[in-house]
Structure 1
Amino acid sequence: MKMTAAVMYKQGLPAPYADSQPFRIEDVELDGPGPGEVLVEVRGAGLCHSDLSVVEGLRKRPLPIVGGHEGAGIVREVGAGVNELAPGDHVAMAAVAGCGHCRTCLAGRPGLCQAVTASRAEGMLSTGSRRLRLANGGRLNHYSGISVYAQYAVVAPSSLVKVDPAVPLDIAALFGCAVVTGAGAIFNSAKVRPGSFVAVIGLGGVGLTAIMAAREAGAEKIIGIDVLPAKFDLAKTVGATDCVDARDPQAVQQVLDLTYGGVDYAFEISGNLNALIMAQAITVRGGEVVGVGIGKSSAVFDVAQLSWVCEERVLRGSFMGSSVPQVDIPKYVDLYLRGRLPVEKLRSEHIGFQQLNRGFDLLASGNAIRQILLPHSL
């Protein structure tokens, strides 16, 4: 079929992106689903900082490629062998997917599946197929096995989670990345205990979700930290007990004073090395620093070996919230429907394809939390 999609031909173009146009809006061809694949009509797709890092060229992808890794839509067709989904089902589309039979998948960690990671690095679906083509028939790659900056997407069922139709599809899109990553970091990676002290550095969609989840987990003190104080009111609305301006020279001391010596868990969401250094400085002895944000692929940081050992500090990575989407997303949807995970507050605005590049300028400036692309609203 012919459809409209956002195609990236070059990474690392200069900002403002409204001028350099990293995404070209054009008609492309999409083949129907093969065996073990599903055709989804995309009804909402989020603009995420992970997508911004690809635009900036910090994380390389095979080009040309149709962008987007956080979305939701309606199943329109299923390929041979797909029994768990049917046309008309509402689904969240998650970038976490595994092969189902390797060592990490069997351990309940599909996000670490090397087989799927390898196929996606080549711009393919986890089935080893490509269903996208340029209008002239040229090769066109899939992004994270999803490519939701398009009107339709062919994906593997492992990337899809059926959701209650009571959830608006523009909100359901957030569950595929922002929610599973932020909430999963709290519930799965760190397993935050009731009564604990938590700091979240970086108050975008993932960070604000982490704050919501920390409140749900029963944390006593939840400190939101960002370089943009304009985000603090929203952070407090969704559960932060205190907020600290990361630019303040006394920011670390403020957190230490608020927590009688440091937080039990510091979640670094931004992918910034300075923020990671702050996370280590504000964590109490025996506490955990949880790295959630992804920065430049070549970035490295130092750990003080003596304090790491003698103070029993924990440094933990959390990729996509250590999630199993088919298990976790239904839980988070239930919390949302009961008003305990108000992820609708993350939504900044709806945009069409023509506003997509400008949307990344807003995201880079910090003046938007989660813009939602509506692919059928041109």
Structure 2
Amino acid sequence: MTTTTAAAVVESAGAGFSLTEVELADPRPDEVLVRMVAAGVCHTDLGVAAGGLPFPLPGVLGHEGAGVVEAVGSAVSRVKPGDHVLLSFTSCGRCANCRDGHPAYCEAWLPLNLLGGARADGSATVTRGGEAIGGHFFGQSSFARHALVDERSLVKVPADVPLELMAPLGCGVQTGAGAVWNVLKPRPGATLVVTGAGAVGLSAVMAARLTPATRIIAVDRVPARLELARELGATHTIDTTSDDLAETVAEITSGHGADGVVETTGNIQMASAAIGSLAARGTAVLVGAPAFGSTVPVDVNFMLPGRQVVGLTLGDSETEALIPVLVELVASGRMPVDRLVKHYKFEEIQRAVGDVVAGEAIKPVLKF
């Protein structure tokens, strides 16, 4: 028996989000029906809604869900009805990268999460009036009052943690923290640069504060966000409306440069400048996603002293290992994610989107 629920549907590229009734398929053996309590709004959702990626529309997006399990498939072992869960990306669980603890680089990641709009076998998880529409976004499509979720997309959390605060951990916070902890792994005394003081960048700043890095340099064009970055752990800030990134980093580090960079803006010029700020043997982690086909020129001679440029998806995280740690850090106040979050009613999703675009909200979270 299908489940009828209200969802925020994107009818066509650029059309925005409109609430309408949809039907969810019954859970298959490895699927879970979740009643949504909250869902974060991410720039990836906005990019897909604008037509920046070939996800099938009409469709239901949303990939930072948090909720309560209502029903489970016959083979599900991670959770049971009544459990509280956070939702993240899905993966096949069988390929070499999944088996090696790197499910964010699953061989089937793109069709399973971002482009397919359906299960791996092509069957629909979401229909409307008997017609299939795009669903299975990151294995969840959580911009709805209920979501049909892959078991591999969810992580059980304690029942006493506030789901409306924890929702962003499934993507934005995990990505920023993972860039620092899983890739850069700063040594004592390291200098880290974080370009872009949005949700991912500020998550990277908070994660860096929990490492032995001694200089954490936040870069942005909005003074209020730079001030927030200082409050969250940045030791220095650079406003690129007036200051040159590489020159200022050189001044701060007495010419040494940055040991690690987390680039979150997706701006090609910013990425180039961030890479140019690296010290010998430094690593730049590119998190922000410019349009497909974009190129960032890098001088080969600049790379010779051991400098590295690494692309990153979702923090290169194993969700069942990292998300519970993030939950504990947020709940204890050591990662004050609440400073990033602004809450909206589910029905206000279009206002939340407008506030993100206008820079008036860092991390909108919808409450159901």
TM-score (norm 1): 0.92
Cα distance in 2 between the residues matched to 1:251 and 1:108 = 35
- Residue 296 (structure 1) aligns with: 291
Is 1:184–1:322's contact at 8 Å kept on the other side of the alignment? yes
Q: Secondary structure at the match of 2:210?
A: helix
Are 1:112 and 2:105 counterparts?
yes
Are 1:55 and 2:49 counterparts?
yes
Is 1:45–1:372's contact at 8 Å kept on the other side of the alignment? yes
- Residue 265 (structure 1) aligns with: 260
Specify which structure has the bigger relative contact order, considering alpha-carbon pairs within 8 angstroms and separated by 6 or more residues.
1
- Residue 130 (structure 1) aligns with: 124
- Percent of matched pairs sharing the same residue: 37
- Residue 168 (structure 1) aligns with: 162
Is 1:38–1:79's contact at 8 Å kept on the other side of the alignment? yes
Alpha-carbon spacing, 1:126–1:217, altered in 2? closer, same or farther (3 Å): farther
Tell me which amino acid in the other structure corresponds to 1:10: S
Alpha-carbon spacing, 1:184–1:105, altered in 2? closer, same or farther (3 Å): same
Q: Give the stretch that moved more between structures: 27-36 or 314-323.
A: 27-36
Tell me which amino acid in the other structure corresponds to 2:81: P
Are 1:355 and 2:348 counterparts?
yes
Cα distance in 2 between the residues matched to 1:93 and 1:368 = 22
- Residue 276 (structure 2) aligns with: 281
Q: Secondary structure at the match of 1:74?
A: strand
Runs (4+) off by over 6 Å? none
Tell me which amino acid in the other structure corresponds to 2:102: R
Q: Offset of 1:250 from its aligned partner? A: 3.2
Cα distance in 2 between the residues matched to 1:249 and 1:172 = 35
- Residue 11 (structure 2) aligns with: 9
Q: Secondary structure at the match of 2:56?
A: coil
Q: Secondary structure at the match of 1:217?
A: coil
Cα distance in 2 between the residues matched to 1:297 and 1:360 = 23
Q: Offset of 1:117 from its aligned partner? A: 2.9
Match of 1:223 among 217, 232, 236: 217
TM-score (norm 2): 0.94
Cα distance in 1 between the residues matched to 2:266 and 2:282 = 20
Q: Secondary structure at the match of 1:266?
A: strand
Q: Offset of 1:128 from its aligned partner? A: 5.4
Tell me, which stretches of 5 or more residues in structure 1 are unaligned? 14-20
Q: Per-residue displacement from partner, 1:7-58 (whole Å, max 9, x unpaired)?
A: 11222x2xxxxxxx41121111112212111000111111111112223322
Match of 1:338 among 332, 335, 339: 332
Is 2:11–2:58's contact at 8 Å kept on the other side of the alignment? yes
Match of 1:29 among 3, 20, 23: 23
Q: Offset of 1:361 from its aligned partner? A: 2.1
Q: Offset of 1:365 from its aligned partner? A: 2.3
Cα distance in 1 between the residues matched to 2:338 and 2:319 = 19
Q: Offset of 1:127 from its aligned partner? A: 7.0
Tell me, which stretches of 5 or more residues in structure 2 are unaligned? none
CA RMSD of aligned residues (A): 1.6
Q: Secondary structure at the match of 1:139?
A: strand
Match of 2:171 among 177, 189, 193: 177
